[in-house]
Protein backbone atom coordinates (compact mmCIF):
# COMPACT_ATOMS: atom_id res chain seq x y z
CA UNK A 1 0.00 0.00 0.00
CA UNK A 2 1.23 3.51 -0.75
CA UNK A 3 2.15 5.26 2.49
CA UNK A 4 -0.27 8.17 2.99
CA UNK A 5 2.51 10.73 3.42
CA UNK A 6 3.59 10.18 -0.17
CA UNK A 7 0.11 10.63 -1.62
CA UNK A 8 -0.71 14.24 -0.85
CA UNK A 9 1.16 17.08 -2.46
CA UNK A 10 3.58 19.36 -0.67
CA UNK A 11 3.71 21.65 -3.68
CA UNK A 12 0.38 23.37 -3.95
CA UNK A 13 1.15 24.81 -7.33
CA UNK A 14 1.76 21.62 -9.18
CA UNK A 15 -0.05 21.49 -12.47
CA UNK A 16 -3.81 21.23 -12.23
CA UNK A 17 -4.17 22.70 -8.76
CA UNK A 18 -5.64 26.03 -7.83
CA UNK A 19 -5.60 27.85 -4.53
CA UNK A 20 -8.15 30.57 -4.05
CA UNK A 21 -8.47 32.75 -0.95
CA UNK A 22 -12.11 33.10 0.16
CA UNK A 23 -11.32 35.76 2.75
CA UNK A 24 -8.36 36.39 5.06
CA UNK A 25 -7.78 33.11 6.92
CA UNK A 26 -9.82 30.97 4.50
CA UNK A 27 -8.61 29.18 1.40
CA UNK A 28 -9.97 26.82 -1.21
CA UNK A 29 -7.33 24.27 -2.23
CA UNK A 30 -8.72 22.98 -5.50
CA UNK A 31 -7.99 19.33 -6.18
CA UNK A 32 -5.71 19.02 -3.16
CA UNK A 33 -7.17 15.66 -2.12
CA UNK A 34 -7.48 14.26 -5.65
CA UNK A 35 -4.32 12.12 -5.67
CA UNK A 36 -5.52 10.29 -2.55
CA UNK A 37 -9.26 10.37 -3.17
CA UNK A 38 -9.63 6.63 -3.83
CA UNK A 39 -7.77 5.79 -0.63
CA UNK A 40 -9.87 8.30 1.31
CA UNK A 41 -13.11 6.81 -0.04
CA UNK A 42 -11.99 3.27 0.76
CA UNK A 43 -11.24 4.33 4.33
CA UNK A 44 -14.52 6.23 4.54
CA UNK A 45 -16.43 3.07 3.63
CA UNK A 46 -14.45 1.08 6.19
CA UNK A 47 -15.34 3.57 8.92
CA UNK A 48 -19.01 3.52 7.87
CA UNK A 49 -19.14 -0.26 8.23
CA UNK A 50 -18.38 0.16 11.92
CA UNK A 51 -20.16 3.47 12.55
CA UNK A 52 -22.94 3.68 9.94
CA UNK A 53 -24.16 6.92 8.39
CA UNK A 54 -27.40 8.04 10.07
CA UNK A 55 -29.67 11.06 9.91
CA UNK A 56 -29.53 12.82 13.26
CA UNK A 57 -32.20 14.98 14.82
CA UNK A 58 -31.69 18.65 15.70
CA UNK A 59 -32.49 20.01 19.17
CA UNK A 60 -35.63 21.47 17.56
CA UNK A 61 -36.78 17.99 16.54
CA UNK A 62 -36.04 18.13 12.79
CA UNK A 63 -34.35 15.21 11.09
CA UNK A 64 -31.32 16.39 9.13
CA UNK A 65 -31.28 15.66 5.39
CA UNK A 66 -27.53 14.97 5.56
CA UNK A 67 -26.51 11.57 6.95
CA UNK A 68 -23.54 11.72 9.33
CA UNK A 69 -21.02 9.63 11.18
CA UNK A 70 -17.61 10.28 12.75
CA UNK A 71 -14.14 8.96 13.32
CA UNK A 72 -11.44 10.10 15.72
CA UNK A 73 -11.48 10.30 19.48
CA UNK A 74 -14.44 12.70 19.50
CA UNK A 75 -17.51 12.75 17.27
CA UNK A 76 -19.90 15.64 16.65
CA UNK A 77 -23.53 14.81 17.18
CA UNK A 78 -26.95 16.29 17.65
CA UNK A 79 -30.11 15.02 19.27
CA UNK A 80 -33.06 16.50 21.16
CA UNK A 81 -30.79 17.50 24.01
CA UNK A 82 -28.40 19.60 21.91
CA UNK A 83 -25.25 19.72 19.79
CA UNK A 84 -22.07 18.30 21.29
CA UNK A 85 -18.97 16.16 20.91
CA UNK A 86 -18.99 12.69 22.39
CA UNK A 87 -16.33 9.97 22.61
CA UNK A 88 -18.97 7.25 22.07
CA UNK A 89 -21.22 6.54 19.11
CA UNK A 90 -24.73 6.60 20.60
CA UNK A 91 -25.89 4.07 17.98
CA UNK A 92 -23.41 1.38 18.90
CA UNK A 93 -22.29 2.43 22.40
CA UNK A 94 -18.70 2.00 21.20
CA UNK A 95 -15.97 4.60 20.73
CA UNK A 96 -15.98 6.16 17.25
CA UNK A 97 -13.61 4.34 14.86
CA UNK A 98 -10.04 5.55 14.83
CA UNK A 99 -9.17 8.28 12.36
CA UNK A 100 -7.51 6.58 9.36
CA UNK A 101 -3.92 7.66 8.64
CA UNK A 102 -4.93 8.82 5.15
CA UNK A 103 -7.46 11.21 6.71
CA UNK A 104 -5.05 12.59 9.30
CA UNK A 105 -2.26 13.02 6.83
CA UNK A 106 -4.43 14.88 4.33
CA UNK A 107 -5.86 17.18 7.00
CA UNK A 108 -2.43 18.06 8.41
CA UNK A 109 -0.97 18.76 4.96
CA UNK A 110 -3.91 20.85 3.82
CA UNK A 111 -3.84 22.92 7.01
CA UNK A 112 -0.13 23.48 6.59
CA UNK A 113 -0.28 24.72 3.02
CA UNK A 114 -3.15 27.02 4.00
CA UNK A 115 -0.91 28.56 6.67
CA UNK A 116 -1.90 26.56 9.76
CA UNK A 117 1.11 24.53 10.85
CA UNK A 118 0.82 21.77 13.45
CA UNK A 119 -2.91 21.11 13.02
CA UNK A 120 -3.72 18.12 15.22
CA UNK A 121 -7.33 17.07 14.57
CA UNK A 122 -9.01 14.72 17.02
CA UNK A 123 -12.36 14.63 15.25
CA UNK A 124 -13.58 13.99 11.73
CA UNK A 125 -17.27 14.53 11.02
CA UNK A 126 -18.27 12.61 7.90
CA UNK A 127 -21.27 13.98 6.00
CA UNK A 128 -23.13 12.14 3.25
CA UNK A 129 -25.38 14.21 0.96
CA UNK A 130 -27.89 12.72 -1.44
CA UNK A 131 -29.68 14.79 -4.09
CA UNK A 132 -32.07 17.04 -2.15
CA UNK A 133 -29.86 17.20 0.97
CA UNK A 134 -28.76 20.60 2.25
CA UNK A 135 -26.99 22.07 5.23
CA UNK A 136 -28.21 25.46 6.38
CA UNK A 137 -25.86 28.30 7.27
CA UNK A 138 -24.13 27.71 10.58
CA UNK A 139 -20.89 28.34 12.47
CA UNK A 140 -18.68 25.51 13.74
CA UNK A 141 -18.60 26.51 17.37
CA UNK A 142 -18.91 23.41 19.53
CA UNK A 143 -15.14 23.03 19.71
CA UNK A 144 -13.42 23.94 22.95
CA UNK A 145 -11.22 26.62 21.45
CA UNK A 146 -11.13 28.31 18.10
CA UNK A 147 -7.36 28.49 17.65
CA UNK A 148 -7.25 25.47 15.36
CA UNK A 149 -8.62 25.72 11.80
CA UNK A 150 -11.32 23.64 10.14
CA UNK A 151 -10.30 21.43 7.21
CA UNK A 152 -13.16 20.38 4.95
CA UNK A 153 -12.76 17.81 2.15
CA UNK A 154 -15.23 17.21 -0.70
CA UNK A 155 -15.58 13.83 -2.41
CA UNK A 156 -18.07 12.47 -4.94
CA UNK A 157 -20.80 14.64 -6.46
CA UNK A 158 -20.15 18.38 -6.79
CA UNK A 159 -21.98 20.80 -4.51
CA UNK A 160 -22.44 24.52 -4.01
CA UNK A 161 -20.78 25.64 -0.80
CA UNK A 162 -22.24 28.75 0.78
CA UNK A 163 -19.64 31.06 2.27
CA UNK A 164 -21.22 33.77 4.37
CA UNK A 165 -19.88 36.33 6.80
CA UNK A 166 -19.52 36.87 10.52
CA UNK A 167 -23.31 37.02 10.88
CA UNK A 168 -26.12 35.02 9.35
CA UNK A 169 -27.46 37.99 7.41
CA UNK A 170 -26.31 38.94 3.93
CA UNK A 171 -25.99 36.95 0.79
CA UNK A 172 -23.38 34.20 1.00
CA UNK A 173 -20.81 33.70 -1.72
CA UNK A 174 -21.50 30.56 -3.77
CA UNK A 175 -18.48 28.35 -4.36
CA UNK A 176 -18.71 25.20 -6.43
CA UNK A 177 -16.83 22.33 -4.75
CA UNK A 178 -15.72 19.30 -6.72
CA UNK A 179 -14.37 15.84 -5.91
CA UNK A 180 -10.97 16.36 -4.28
CA UNK A 181 -11.40 20.00 -3.29
CA UNK A 182 -10.39 21.10 0.21
CA UNK A 183 -11.42 24.24 2.06
CA UNK A 184 -9.48 25.41 5.12
CA UNK A 185 -10.61 28.21 7.40
CA UNK A 186 -9.27 29.53 10.68
CA UNK A 187 -7.93 32.65 12.38
CA UNK A 188 -10.11 35.64 11.45
CA UNK A 189 -12.34 33.34 9.37
CA UNK A 190 -12.78 30.63 12.01
CA UNK A 191 -16.40 31.50 12.88
CA UNK A 192 -17.59 32.35 9.38
CA UNK A 193 -21.12 31.17 8.61
CA UNK A 194 -21.17 28.44 5.98
CA UNK A 195 -23.48 25.81 4.56
CA UNK A 196 -24.28 23.70 1.51
CA UNK A 197 -27.03 24.49 -0.99
CA UNK A 198 -29.53 21.77 -1.88
CA UNK A 199 -27.57 19.07 -3.70
CA UNK A 200 -28.73 18.78 -7.27
CA UNK A 201 -27.32 16.00 -9.24
CA UNK A 202 -28.00 12.58 -10.33
CA UNK A 203 -26.20 9.34 -10.22
CA UNK A 204 -23.10 9.68 -12.39
CA UNK A 205 -19.54 8.49 -12.63
CA UNK A 206 -18.92 10.42 -9.40
CA UNK A 207 -21.40 8.09 -7.65
CA UNK A 208 -24.73 8.82 -6.02
CA UNK A 209 -23.54 10.85 -3.04
CA UNK A 210 -21.44 13.77 -2.06
CA UNK A 211 -19.24 13.12 0.95
CA UNK A 212 -17.61 15.73 3.10
CA UNK A 213 -14.96 15.18 5.76
CA UNK A 214 -14.69 17.96 8.33
CA UNK A 215 -11.59 17.83 10.50
CA UNK A 216 -11.49 19.68 13.79
CA UNK A 217 -9.52 19.94 16.99
CA UNK A 218 -12.52 19.60 19.28
CA UNK A 219 -11.09 18.71 22.69
State the residues that interact with ligand SIN by CB under 6 A: 125, 127, 135, 152, 161, 194, 196, 212, 214
DSSP string, 73-116: S-EEEEETTEEEEESB-TTTSSBPPPPPHHHHHHHHHHHHHTT-
If phi > 0 it is left, if psi is from -120 to 50 it is alpha, else beta; for residue 213 that is beta
Distance (Å, whole) CA 159 – CA 12 = 23
Nearer of residues 1 and 34 to ligand SIN, judged by Cβ: 34
Nearer of residues 4 and 164 to ligand SIN, judged by Cβ: 164
Q: Is residue 140 a contact residue for Fe ion (CB under 5 A)?
A: yes
Q: Is residue 143 a contact residue for Fe ion (CB under 5 A)?
A: no
**Partner whose footprint covers residue 212, from ligand SIN, Fe ion, none (CB < 5 to 8 Å by kind):** ligand SIN
**Partner whose footprint covers residue 127, from Fe ion, ligand SIN, none (CB < 5 to 8 Å by kind):** ligand SIN
**Partner whose footprint covers residue 161, from ligand SIN, Fe ion, none (CB < 5 to 8 Å by kind):** ligand SIN
CB 142, CB 84: distance < 8 Å: yes
**Partner whose footprint covers residue 135, from ligand SIN, Fe ion, none (CB < 5 to 8 Å by kind):** ligand SIN
Nearer of residues 12 and 196 to Fe ion, judged by Cβ: 196
Q: Measure Cα distances from 14 to 6, 31, 37, 75, 121 in Å.
A: 15, 10, 17, 34, 26
Amino acid sequence: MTPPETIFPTDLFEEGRRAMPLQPGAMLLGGFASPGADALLADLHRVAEVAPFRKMVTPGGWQMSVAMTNCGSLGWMTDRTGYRYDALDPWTGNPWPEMPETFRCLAERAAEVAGYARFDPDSCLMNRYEPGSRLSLHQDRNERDFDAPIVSVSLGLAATFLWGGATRSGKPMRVRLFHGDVVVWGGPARLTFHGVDTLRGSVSLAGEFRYNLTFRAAR
